[in-house]
Amino acid sequence: MKKLLLTMFIVAMAGAGFAIPFASQIRVSDTAPPEGAGMTITYYINEAGGTATIDIIKVSDLSGVASFPGTATLGLNTVVWDGTVDNAGGADVPVGNYRVKITVAATKSVGWAEVASNSSVGNYATPATTYQTLWDGFSSMEMVIPNNPDKDSFGYILASTGASVVPRIHGHVVFNPDLSLTNGGDGQDLWMEYPGTPLDVDYTLCWGNCSDPDDADYMWVAGQSFAPQTSVVMYGKYNDEIATEATNGITVLDGARDIAVCNESSTKYAYVAQGTNVLFKVTISGNLLTGTPVDILECTNIGRYSKGVDVDSDGNLYYSSRRDNSGGTNGAIYRWSAATAQAATAGSLNEANSDWDIQFPVGTLNVEGVAFDPSGNVYGIAAGDSDGSIRGIYLLGNKSLTPNKKTLTTGDRIIAFPYNWSSYGCSAQFDYAGNLIAVNRTNEEIRAYTPGGTSNVPITAPASQNFEVAAPPPPPLAARNWELFE
């Protein structure tokens, strides 16, 4: 029996300004449909306002054999394909090897604009752009958006969360690209929960998170557990029900605020930012921390308080701080080159040997980490100030820029946060197409912004979505016109 192997891929679009809708989380209804029987194709689109075209193309030469419209609504899209060249009862697609290509195209106005948001009913006045609501008690800290299309986690929004009062969920919350909860419920039974003391006795704040550099489907989360206060570093697949406790008995990380994990030569390291002017570096073996953490930071301003740590695709190390505990300085971001970070020893990193020294405007309280767009531009998040005039997302420069030492003004701000939206606990990341997603603890909310432009970025779907279409089976005996003879 001849068989036909179809692999899935998807092309979505984003322009010189990036942005615009793209699809992800492609699924098919049948892993081995007969030729001509067709199947159901589902996918998420992260923004509304575009069009979608579905093409069936040959693997051998990428020529098209079928083309038909898809839906392009915000969220889950479901398209039934009848196995024909036009999805309207025409000729069956011949047996062969194929891929499915989905093209999502749109043009938006130039400039940053909010395209969707959601919030807790209990703590925030719903804006006109609300897509759906979250449960009251969503206490987001940091988030990451896996951008490897070859992984099942592609496009999901993964937010670490924790709360000291009920309702409690301590671990990792997973959202679809359209900001809806992936379990379709109230968020109280989600993923990568802390595997320790029951929540009715203890509570855990999961502050920072990052993807594992070897497999984007796996996450690292850092934070602290209380009563008594203990160190928390967790590891697990992004949609695991319970995480693995990966701290491995290390006791000095009980003030962790963020974690970044990277490979340096043949060794994997975790950078853990915590407390006042502390940045630990510790080796990882398998899925556990090993060895003795070394505090590699010794800034001149000894009052700086750690808020974030990040590593870009070139290995450069970023450290974000709020103003010091005396209120005497502003939030800042420092960066050290990959070579400097790899050679770091106890107390070796400081302001003087940083290649980036970014000071935020006077009055900035919390600087909550950095985000990278697809072009390598780096953005910082200012979450707190006295009157709301500073809060928002700031463009710091491209990661290739060295040195980069300056004091920002509000002219460097691309998005201003509402005054009551963000003062503490905030994170922003870019999706694959350059849209910016921001989460905020204070008002239990996620917002999505687009920079505008015309879509044109190709995306390939996960190899795990391959499926097989079999040649049609022979007709039943009754259809063969057998006659009886004596």
Hey, what domains does the chain have and what are their CATH numbers?
A: 3-107+459-474 (2.60.40), 113-450 (2.120.10.30)
As a whole number of angstroms, the distance between CA 381 and CA 7 comes to 39
pLDDT in tens, 80-138: 999 899 999 999 988 877 777 888 888 887 788 888 888 876 655 555 456 667 777 77
Q: CA distances (Å), 14 to each of 241, 458, 459, in order?
A: 34, 8, 10
Q: How many CB atoms lie within 10 A of CB 252?
A: 16
CA 134 to each of CA 7, 129, 140, 173, 444: distance values in angstroms, whole numbers, following the listed order: 35, 14, 11, 11, 7
C-alpha 334/C-alpha 354 separation (Å) is 6
Helices (H), 216-370: 338-342
CA dist list (Å): 40 to 110, 176, 409: 36, 19, 51
Phi/psi-derived region of residue 111, left when phi > 0, alpha when psi is between -120 and 50, beta in every other case? left
Please give the model's pTM, rounded to 2 decimal places: 0.87
| pLDDT score of 87 | 95
Using 70 as the pLDDT threshold, list the residues of the chain that sit under it.
1-19, 121-132, 164-169, 185-190, 196-202, 227, 302, 324-329, 386, 419-425, 455-470, 476-486
**Who's near 437: CB < 8 A, 6+ residues apart?**
143, 145, 157, 179, 428, 429, 430, 431, 446, 447, 448, 449
Q: List the beta bridge partners of residue 64.
A: 57
Taking the C-alpha atoms of residue 394 and residue 379, their distance in angstroms, rounded to an integer, is: 5
Tokens of 356: 């980036």
Separation between Cα atoms, residue 208 and residue 81, nearest integer Å: 42
Alpha helices in 225-373 (DSSP H): 338-342
Q: What is the pLDDT of residue 166?
A: 64
Pairing, β 467-470 against β 3-8? antiparallel
CA distance 158 to 146: 8
Of residues 242, 170, 160, the one with CA closest to residue 201 = 170
pLDDT value at residue 129: 58
How far, in Å, CA of 419 to CA of 377, rounded?
Answer: 26
The pLDDT assigned to 401 comes to 96
pLDDT score of 461? 57
- Could you give the 3-state DSSP secondary structure of residue 289? strand
Rg (CA), the chain: 25
Q: Rounded distance, CA 18 to CA 110, Å?
A: 10
CA distance 42 to 39: 10
List the structure tokens of 16: 């010189």
Q: Give the chain's end-to-end CA distance (angstroms, integer).
A: 35
Judge contact between 332 and 359, C-beta under 8 A.
yes
